[in-house]
Amino acid sequence: MSYSVFIDGAAGTTGLQVADRLAERKDISLVRLDDERRKDSAARQAAMAAADITILCLPDDAATEAVQLAAETGSTVRLIDASSAHRIHPDFVYGFAEMARGQSEKIAAARLVSNPGCYPTGFIALVRPLTANGLLSTGTRLGASCVSGYSGGGKAMIERYESGTAPAFGTYALGLNHKHLPEMQVHGLLDTPPVFLPSVGQFAQGMLVNILLHQRDFDIAVSASDILAAYQNSYDGCEVVSVGPQGALSGHGFLVAEALAGTDRLELFVFASPDNSAFVLTARLDNLGKGAAGAAVQNMNIMLGLDPLTGLNI
């Protein structure tokens, strides 16, 4: 059986990545609009009505407008929104299939799904198993120090880095009000948002999300093996998520951010001091893979009743 998919915003970074993942699939046909019609509301509405799934790869304001356009066509249009506009919206199911037991089933039954952000995917994957299982209090005040490849900044940032006019490394969002904070708090089961310090480096794709903790931050005494066990229990049987893979560090002792570039996987690590008094919890993923396009294709597969991993690079 063949299904039709419309990518609204197919010319953007995420849209192009989604299209690449679907291009060779025999079970998916893309509903396309030419350049003259891709911003025409009537043409977009018609494409949404014709498609089995529409994937919104748009800025937040445009995604909000697109959801309204879809609503005007009727209640049968199914959407995956890759923007941050609806990630805690009550009408949308959060599209992180591995986040909790039963989440995949919720996605399968949903008409409206919000694709997680790249940084929040790593953050929630690390935090939720600890808050959900009582190792960390929901009132714990967390900080996350992170780095991503420059492709996460969209076309303008990509052009700056590839033309050699951008710095090798820099932190940003120093106003401490990044748009990812609400979903990190809500889906991480936290009472307060984390302190979030994102950075960008001179590499195209890849990401590290680091959470730094002291033993006193936990509600009970824990060791690195206890934290690993919580992750292994939470992600048991998840082919996309691996916990504590061996041989993670390079020959120079680095955890390389771009090691998963071009894949749709997520890796979780626990590093601890010898006496377990301090911990660094790290998630590694491709910001355009499990952090964006890979997750969108996985959610599409689930919503269509297909093998969730079809077309993914695992």
Is beta strand 266-272 parallel, antiparallel or unpaired with respect to 278-285? antiparallel
Contact criterion met (CB below 8 Å) for 306 and 27 = yes
Burial grade of 259 (CB within 10 A; 0-12, 13-18, 19 or more)? middle
Catalytic-labelled residue, pool 57, 118, 146, 238: 118
Rounded Cα distance between 6 and 53, Å, is 6
Three-state secondary structure string covering 231-276: HHHHCCCCCCEEECCCCCCCCCCCCCHHHHCCCCCEEEEEEECCCC
Burial grade of 139 (CB within 10 A; 0-12, 13-18, 19 or more)? exposed
Question: Known catalytic residue: 238?
Answer: no
- What order do you get walking across the sheet with 93-94 strand by strand? 28-31, 3-8, 53-56, 79-81, 112-114, 93-94
Enumerate the active-site residues. Answer: 118
